[in-house]
């Protein structure tokens, strides 16, 4: 990994970590203590995926080894979905530190992660079934978030809220999200193939 790639990987990890820290401060106002804040934040796909960004790029910066292309492309897909879903379905105007936390997690981190992937990712071809395998993370998260919400009565997102949805609605949303991830994954896969030929 080049010096530029390594230094920018460190900056991405720091940006994601700073955004998570800002969100922690914002969320702590609604929770009685650091453990409660951490537990509350851990129900969100955004938070958990940004933690993956911190780990992936932090490790790359520390070791000088680029993330494996298969993992990095999947991470790009997941964090791009974080940004798209937020801006299309979940956006709420904020001010102050909440503004910076929101746009760090949902705008800046997805953009710089994608930019790093475009600029520095390895040229190893991605297998045709890669987008199918990348479904493991949204699949596992959906099950986790739904079960957790059913147990504590607090759902992370409206499209898994069993207090307002029937099981059929939930299944429909689950399938729709997986299809969206799959389609987006194949778009990403196709773009990576085109980039290798350019």
- 52: exposed, middle or buried (Cβ count in 10 Å: 0-12, 13-18, 19+): middle
Tell me the pLDDT tens digit for each residue of 53-69. 999 999 999 999 999 99
Q: For the residues 174-189, what does the mean pLDDT come to?
A: 96
Predicted confidence (pLDDT) at residue 47 exceeds the cutoff of 90: yes
Give the pLDDT score at 123: 65
Q: For the residues 142-148, what does the mean pLDDT come to?
A: 96
Token pair recorded at residue 151: 């147990």
Query: From the CB of residue 45, how many other CB atoms can be counted at a distance below 10 Å?
Result: 21
Give the pLDDT score at 124: 74
Q: What is the band of 197 on the pLDDT scale with cuts at 50, 70, 90?
A: low
Distance CA 178, CA 175 (A): 5
The pTM for the full model equals 0.94
Average pLDDT of the chain to the nearest whole number: 94
- 1: exposed, middle or buried (Cβ count in 10 Å: 0-12, 13-18, 19+): middle
Tell me the pLDDT tens digit for each residue of 31-40. 889 999 999 9
Give the pLDDT score at 194: 80
Distance CA 150, CA 103 (A): 29
Predicted confidence (pLDDT) at residue 196 exceeds the cutoff of 70: no
Which of 118, 93, 116 lies closest to 106, judged by CA? 93
Predicted confidence (pLDDT) at residue 183 exceeds the cutoff of 70: yes
């Amino acid at each position: 990994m080049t010096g530029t790639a390594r230094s920018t990987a460190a900056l991405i990890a720091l940006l994601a970590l700073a955004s998570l820290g800002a969100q922690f401060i914002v969320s702590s106002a609604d929770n009685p203590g650091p453990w409660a804040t951490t537990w509350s934040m851990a129900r969100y796909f955004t938070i958990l995926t940004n933690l993956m960004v911190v780990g992936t790029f932090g490790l790359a910066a520390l070791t000088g080894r680029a993330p494996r292309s298969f993992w990095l492309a999947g991470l790009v897909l997941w964090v791009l979905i974080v940004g798209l879903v937020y801006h299309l379905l979940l956006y709420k105007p904020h001010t102050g530190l909440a503004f910076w936390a929101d746009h760090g997690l949902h705008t800046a981190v997805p953009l710089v992660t994608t930019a790093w992937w475009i600029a520095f990712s390895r040229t190893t071809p991605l297998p045709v079934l890669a987008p199918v395998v990348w479904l493991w993370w949204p699949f596992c998260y959906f099950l986790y978030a739904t079960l957790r919400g059913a147990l504590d009565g607090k759902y992370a997102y409206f499209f898994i809220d069993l207090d307002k949805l029937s099981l059929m609605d939930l299944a429909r949303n689950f399938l729709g999200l997986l299809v969206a991830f799959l389609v987006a994954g194949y778009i990403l896969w196709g773009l990576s193939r085109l980039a290798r030929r350019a």
